[in-house]
Amino acid sequence: MAEPRDRPVLGVLGGMGPLAGATFAGRLVALTPAARDQDHIPVILRNDPRVPDRSSARLGQGEDPLEAMLRGIRLLERAGADLIAIPCNTAHLWFDQLAAQAKVPLLHIIESVCDDLERLGAGGCRVGLMGTAATLQLGLYRGPLQRRGFDVLETAPEDVRLCTQAIDAVKTNHPERALAPAAACIERLIERGAQAVVLGCTELPLAVPHAGRRAFGVPLTDSIDALARAAIARCTMAAAPAEA
C-alpha cells in the first residue's frame, strides 16, 4: 500500500547516541511552523544504538561502524525516506563513503552548522570548536569552516577531556553532570578569542540547556538544531516526489 506522497519523508539515522537521535526528532517538530499535527514533516527515525563507537573506531581502537551505518541507510531507504539526516557529527568522518552508497541525498551536518553560524550573524568570525576527540583530532570541521571563511579555533588538547566528560555524562544518562565541563570548555575557548562556539557533537547541546546559553555572551551553534533547520528547509522547499 503506497504512502500518500504529499511531501518528502525525512529519514534519520540516529542512535549515535540515542538521546541525540530522539532529541533531533523533537527539535525538528519544535522548529517547524505548524498549526496542527498534519503540518509536520513525516519522519522515520532509526534510533539504533548498536552502531559501534565512532570515536573509538577512528582513533584505531574499535570496530568500524561503516557497515552498521550502511545497514541503517538501506533500512531507511526501504522505509520510504526521500533524504536522510545523521544527527552525529563524528559519523560524518564516514560521510563520503555513506553518500557514495546511498540512493537518496544525505544532509551534511557540518554544512548545516556553517549555515547556522551565518544565520546567527557569525559569518567570518573566529569560531571555537568543541566535539569528540576524533572530530577534533581528525579536523572534521577545520576544512569546511575555513573554506567558508571562518577562522577556526579548536579546543586545546589539554581541554579535550572537558568535551569528553560532558559527552560521556549525557551518554550515561547523567545530563546534570554535563553542564560544568561543557561550560568550562566554552569559557576557555572564549578566553582564547572565540567569537562564536560550535557544539560540534550532538551530545553537547544536551549538556548546555537552551535557557542558559545567552549567558555566555557569544552565539553557540547547536549541531542538533542546525541539522534540524537544514532538514526543515529541504523538506519544506523540495518538490514532493512523483507518485511511485
Q: Which residues bind a copy of itself (CB under 8 A)?
A: 1, 3-4, 6, 9, 15-19, 21-23, 25-26, 28-30, 32-51, 53, 67, 71, 74-75, 78-80, 171-173
- Residue with Cβ nearer a copy of itself (71 or 188): 71
Residues in the chain: 244
Q: Which of 88, 114, 125, 185 is catalytic?
A: 88
Q: Which three cell numbers stand for residue 82?
A: 526521500
The minimum distance between CB 232 and a copy of itself, in angstroms, equals 12
Contact 162, 184 (CB under 8 A): yes
Contact 198, 130 (CB under 8 A): yes
Q: How many CB atoms lie within 10 A of CB 237?
A: 8
Whole-number Å distance between alpha carbons of 223 and 214 = 17
The minimum distance between CB 112 and a copy of itself, in angstroms, equals 19
- Residue with Cβ nearer a copy of itself (71 or 213): 71
> Does 235 participate in catalysis according to the annotation?
no
- Residue with Cβ nearer a copy of itself (146 or 173): 173
Is 99 exposed, middle or buried (CB count within 10 Å of its CB: 0-12, 13-18, 19+)?
A: middle
The minimum distance between CB 73 and a copy of itself, in angstroms, equals 11
Q: Which of 125, 185, 201, 235 is catalytic?
A: 201
Helix/strand number for the chain, H first, E second: 11, 7
Q: Which residues pair with 222 in a beta bridge?
A: 199
- Residue with Cβ nearer a copy of itself (4 or 217): 4
The minimum distance between CB 167 and a copy of itself, in angstroms, equals 11
Residue 106 DSSP one-character state = B
Q: Which residues are catalytic?
A: 88, 201
